[in-house]
Structure formats: C-alpha cells, structure tokens
Amino acid sequence: MKQAIALFAAALIGGCLSSGAREADRYFILEAAPGARAVSTVVVAPTSVSSFYDTQDIVYSRAPGTRAYYQFNRWTERPQRAIHAQLASRFQAGAKSGRVLSTHLEEIYHDAAQPPGTARITLTAQLVDPASRAVLARRTFSRSAPAASYDAPGAVQGFRQALGALLDEVAAWVDAEAKAK
C-alpha cells in the first residue's frame, strides 16, 4: 500500500513539474483595409461593446449559438477601442457639426462552422443630437469576409477585410444622413 501511495505521489509531482511545450501567445492588430475618408464632420463617441466581446481574446464559433475564445491568440487591444480609433480617423473631427456618432459593437467572431470559416462583425451606429440627446438616425451594419485559413491568423485577415467594408459603409451612411438633414 505504501508503495502505491509513493508511486501515486511521484506521478503527481512529475505531472506538475513536466515542462511540456506550450504554444506561444500571439497578438494581432485589428486594423481595417484602407478606405475613403468621410466628407462629414462628427464627434465620434467611444465604441461600446457587448460584454462577451469586451476582451482582447479573439472569439470563434463552431456551431450556431455558441462562442468560445481562442486559447493562444489575442488582439493587441480590445476590439471596440481599435474600431473607435479607426472610425475617428475616417471622419473630420469637430464639435461644429452638432452631431455625435455613437457606435456599439454587437459581435466580432470567426464563424468556424465550415473550414476555413468567415470573419463576422456587427456594429450598430446612431447619430445623436448632443443638445437634446435625440437619436437622429440609427442603423445596424453587418459585414463578413472569408477567413484566409482555418485558424486565428486566417480569421484576422478576414476581419481586416470585413472591418474595412463595414467602416466604409458607416462613413457613407453618415454622409448620406448629413445630406438628408
């Protein structure tokens, strides 16, 4: 019996001390494909985000209605911060416009149900009158692009394409709303 306990303890200690190789963490920058600047002048409010996506972890899904985080693959900053910075760079900054562009990141994930998968992004945008806080216009934008490969690095390439198209669409919408008002 003592031998069995000693053998079990040795195996337990050996398992704790093993130096099994671990994959290195990889960090990716969420940046959009180049796009045109908007004509409109707006104040771009910080982008809010659904709680599950409020992380630097890259999200994937292998089945409808499920989400998980890639284990060793992360964004260099939270996606909503990267999206806010890129939105702000597409618009002429200025409080003169009397409008605020408010955005909410609904989802950003690698749909990996079928190889190589698809990068999906959904963003809701609102144009708000800061004086009355009235919503002048509201729209939800969804874009997707094929992942280059069936892994996080391939998904990141798809995210860049999808985000570029989404930001172009938001900029065109804001410009159209400015002309309509």
25-180 domain in CATH 3.40.50.10610?
yes
Q: Global pTM?
A: 0.85
How long, in residues, is the chain?
181
User: What are the φ/ψ torsions at residue 30 (nearest 5 degrees)?
Assistant: -85, 100
User: 57-108 pLDDT, tens per residue?
Assistant: 999 999 999 999 999 999 999 999 999 999 999 987 655 667 999 999 999 9
Q: Look at residue 20 and tell me whether its pLDDT is greater than 80.
A: no
Q: How far apart are CA 75 and CA 26, in angstroms?
A: 8
State the helix-helix crossing angle for 152-180 and 79-90, rounded to 10 degrees: 40
User: 119-140 pLDDT, tens per residue?
Assistant: 999 999 999 999 999 999 999 9
Q: How many angstroms from the chain centroid is the CA of residue 58?
A: 8
95-98's contacts with Cβ under 8 Å and 24+ in sequence apart are: 95/43, 96/41, 97/40, 97/41, 97/42, 97/43, 97/178, 98/129, 98/130, 98/131
Domain boundaries, the chain: 25-180
Q: Which run of H or of E encompasses 124?
A: strand 118-128
